Amino acid sequence: MQGGSDGSFRMCGIPTNTALKLRATADGAETASESTVRLQGGTRMARTELTLVPLATLTARGAVFTGIVVADSTHTPIPLAEVALPELNKSETTNSRGEFRIAGIPGGEYRISVRRIGYGAADTRLAFKGNETVERRVVLGRAVTLEPVKVVATASDRMRASFDDNKRIGIGHFMTRDEIQKYDGMEFATLLSTISTTGIAYGRAHNWITSRLRPPPPLCLYDRLACLQAHGFHIPDEFERQQGVPVECWSLVWVDGVLQNGMHDPTEPFDLKQMYTDRVDKLEFYATSAEVPMRYQRRGSHCGVLVVWTRGYEPKPDKPPL
């Protein structure tokens, strides 16, 4: 959106408990990094200031990666593509013209990842030196769509059909595609943060889910880590700590009837960045073990259970057509 003559701006219709990343650009200047704003709880308004820095100043702070992302067949610009340097926790989304610009990159060789729903991802490494500007044209190919395949009903099919039964009982939180599609293109964590009973932890380049209604951490007088672990709290290892994983009791996550974590005790965190909102058909979230249906009950379900059903499913009719 475009700010007023006095630099002010206003955005309406933002869901509560949603992390909104903001940056500003102008002729010859832009913000040095993204600012994150979140409307917490009953708060209906939030205020932030975005400071513009001359491009010459930003360039002096490190290298600049700029360019355009286009489709391989038509070479038309691709908006809303994510261009990321995961090792530096830097990312940018292309504008309506498919353009992107990432500044402040220290010298060195880094992995570059470019992706957009509906296109094949691009992944390579680039070297940056001093204050140079590296410009690239990134071409993404359309994702291949396979012909539909009819399968015989499985246990997963029957579990998927249980969504309506669970929703009818009304214990837990349920979302269908009509509600979910409002968040297509956003991060999966953003969608889940709209559920009042979820707790989202944000790391350097990953997001994880727990329940706001989980039991509180115990009062551990001796050997605190071992005590927390005995009560279902996952203790991150060195690599996880570098990614920003906190000590927490994590929710179990099921995708299309398959348990994604919970192979260890306590339950290990599930990275929400593995899921794309556009691919989610419906979901269920149970905040406490008392809410969880028997089929999803596992050790560790006291910290919440997330059940996700993805799109592209065609239910098999009970009887063949006449």
CA distance 310 to 294: 21
Judgement on whether residues 214 and 82 belong to the same structural domain of the protein: no
In the predicted model, what is the mean pLDDT of residues 66-87? 90
- Residue 270 CA: distances (Å) to CA of 57, 125, 259, 260: 39, 27, 10, 7
In a domain, 2, yes or no: no
Of the two residues 321 and 145, the one the predictor is more confident about is 145
Residue 55 sits in a domain whose CATH number is: 2.60.40.10
Name the E strands within the chain. Answer: 19-22, 25-26, 29-31, 35-38, 52-54, 63-71, 82-85, 90-93, 99-105, 108-115, 122-128, 133-140, 173-175, 198-202, 207-211, 252-255, 258-259, 280-286, 305-310
Question: pLDDT digits over 91-113, tens only?
Answer: 889 988 999 988 888 888 999 99
Q: What percent of the chain lies above the pLDDT cut of 70?
A: 84
In a domain, 5, yes or no: no
Place of tokens 């559920």: 195
Judgement on whether residues 70 and 100 belong to the same structural domain of the protein: yes
Judgement on whether residues 197 and 78 belong to the same structural domain of the protein: no
Judgement on whether residues 108 and 177 belong to the same structural domain of the protein: no
In a domain, 147, yes or no: no
In three-state form (DSSP H/G/I as H, E/B as E, the rest C), the secondary structure along 101-162 is: EEEEECCEEEEEEEECCCECCEEEEEEECCCCEEEEEEEECECCCCCCCCCCCCHHHHHHHH
Judgement on whether residues 63 and 172 belong to the same structural domain of the protein: no
Question: pLDDT digits over 39-61, tens only?
Answer: 665 566 777 887 877 776 766 67
Judgement on whether residues 160 and 305 belong to the same structural domain of the protein: yes
In the predicted model, what is the mean pLDDT of residues 272-299? 92
Judgement on whether residues 161 and 228 belong to the same structural domain of the protein: yes
pLDDT of residue 314: 43
Token pair, residue 101, equals 């610009």
In the predicted model, what is the mean pLDDT of residues 277-287? 95
In a domain, 284, yes or no: yes
Residue 207 sits in a domain whose CATH number is: 2.170.130.10
Q: What percent of the chain lies above the pLDDT cut of 90?
A: 45
b/e burial code for range 231-254 (CB count within 10 A of at least 16 → b): ebbbebeeebeeebbeebbbbbbb
Residue 128: φ, ψ to 5°: -125, 140
In a domain, 10, yes or no: no
Helix, strand, coil percentages in the chain from 3-state DSSP, rounded to 5: 20, 30, 50
In a domain, 247, yes or no: yes
In a domain, 75, yes or no: yes
Judgement on whether residues 126 and 221 belong to the same structural domain of the protein: no
Judgement on whether residues 167 and 225 belong to the same structural domain of the protein: yes
For residue 320, is pLDDT > 50? Answer: no
Total domains in the chain come to 2
Q: Select from 86, 109, 140 the last residue of a domain.
A: 140
CA distance 190 to 275: 11
Question: pLDDT digits over 290-319, tens only?
Answer: 999 988 988 889 999 999 999 864 444 444
Judgement on whether residues 79 and 172 belong to the same structural domain of the protein: no
Q: Select from 110, 140, 170 the last residue of a domain.
A: 140
Judgement on whether residues 162 and 135 belong to the same structural domain of the protein: no
Who contacts 236 (Cβ-Cβ below 8 Å, separation ≥6)?
245, 246, 247
* Residue 237 lies in domain: 155-310
Minimal CA–CA distance to 101: which of 58, 49, 48?
58
Q: Select from 106, 140, 174 the last residue of a domain.
A: 140
Judgement on whether residues 82 and 202 belong to the same structural domain of the protein: no
In the predicted model, what is the mean pLDDT of residues 83-87? 90
pLDDT of residue 207: 94
The reply to whether omega before 266 is within 30° of 0 (cis) is yes
Q: What is the DSSP letter of 300?
A: T
CA distance 149 to 144: 15
Token pair, residue 16, equals 């509560």
Question: pLDDT digits over 213-264, tens only?
Answer: 999 998 888 899 999 999 999 999 998 899 899 999 999 999 998 899 988 8
Q: Quickly state the pLDDT bin for 143 (edges 50, 70, 90).
A: confident
In a domain, 212, yes or no: yes
Distance of CA 38 to the CA centre of its chain: 15
pTM score of the predicted model: 0.51
Following DSSP, what letter does each residue of 250-269 receive, concatenated?
PPEEEETTEE-S-SSSSPPP
